[in-house]
Amino acid sequence: MLKIYLNPEADKLIESLDLGRVSLGESVKYTVYMKNTDPEWSIHNIKIENANPELRFEAPETLKPNEVQEVHVYWTPKITNRKPLRAEFKFSGDIFIG
């Protein structure tokens, strides 16, 4: 029900995201778009599970049915990491029925 897109029109679904190159000590902000694809139910308590300390997310707590909102992704490379960034993250939330 939660999907991530490259644009606010929600017609370019993200399968993977290339964050490019960032210099050590710098932080870069990227904007993507989260959509609740359910036509009927709101999603509450949206959370992002991320184990990579180089990434930080800012996302809405609630999305109404078919609503699209910005999600900000911040990448701050660590000097101790000598490998390209590879990270998986999960989005979750609650639907209250009744």
Q: Note the pLDDT tens digit of each residue in 64-84.
A: 999 999 999 998 887 776 666
Distance CA 12, CA 5 (A): 5
Owner of token pair 């009927």? 40
| Range of the structural domain that residue 64 is part of | 2-83
Q: Provide the residue-wise pLDDT of the chain in tens; the chain has 98 residues.
A: 899 999 999 999 998 877 777 777 788 999 999 999 999 999 999 999 988 888 899 999 999 999 999 999 998 887 776 666 677 888 899 998 86
The answer to whether residue 90 is domain-embedded is no
Tell me, yes or no, whether 64 lies in a domain.
yes
In a domain, 57, yes or no: yes
C-alpha radius of gyration, the chain, whole number: 15
The count of domains in the chain is: 1
**Is 97 inside a domain boundary?**
no
Residue 92 lies in a domain: no
Sequence-ordered alpha helix ranges (H) in the chain? none
Q: Nearest to residue 31, comparing CAs of 50, 54, 57, 53?
A: 57
Measured CA to CA, the distance from residue 76 to residue 96 in angstroms comes to 36
Q: Specify the pTM.
A: 0.85
